[in-house]
Amino acid sequence: DQQVKQNSPSLSVQEGRISILNCDYTNSMFDYFLWYKKYPAEGPTFLISISSIKDKNEDGRFTVFLNKSAKHLSLHIVPSQPGDSAVYFCAARVGANNLFFGTGTRLTVIP
């Protein structure tokens, strides 16, 4: 039972353009959402998060949007850079407990 879904396995974007990564969830009890970036042979690196009481959080080039009614969140990267090429995981949490992860989206930023 996949409670967090990332339906796009891959995304290619030109350098300088916007990257939009999407995530859907099914559990309405999720109260905190995170995005992680992962390079091969490394652990996930925290990028940005958002509480369920907000609908937007911004940190430099990264913005996360949360639409609770649609159970959907997205990560926007503007402008995209070649160093952003990695696998991006969406994760969600209920209370103080473990994270539920999506299956990831591989972002390739083309120079």
Partner 1 sequence: DTGVSQNPRHKITKRGQNVTFRCDPISEHNRLYWYRQTLGQGPEFLTYFQNEAQLEKSRLLSDRFSAERPKGSFSTLEIQRTEQGDSAMYLCASRAPYTDTQYFGPGTRLTVL
Q: Is 25 in the site for partner 1 (CB under 8 A)?
A: no
Q: What DSSP designation does 55 have?
A: S
Question: In angstroms, what is the minimal distance from the CB of 21 to partner 1?
Answer: 13
Taking the chain, what is the end-to-end CA distance rounded to the nearest angstrom?
38
Distance CA 55, CA 31 (A): 12
Residue 79: Cβ within 10 Å count: 14
> Residue 45 interacts with partner 1 (CB under 8 A)?
yes
98 binds partner 1, rule: CB under 8 A: yes
Q: Using the rule CB under 8 A, is 60 a contact of partner 1?
A: no
Looking at beta carbons only, is 9 or 16 nearer to partner 1? Answer: 9
Residues that bind partner 1 (CB under 8 A): 4, 32, 34, 36, 41-46, 49, 51, 89, 91, 93, 96-104
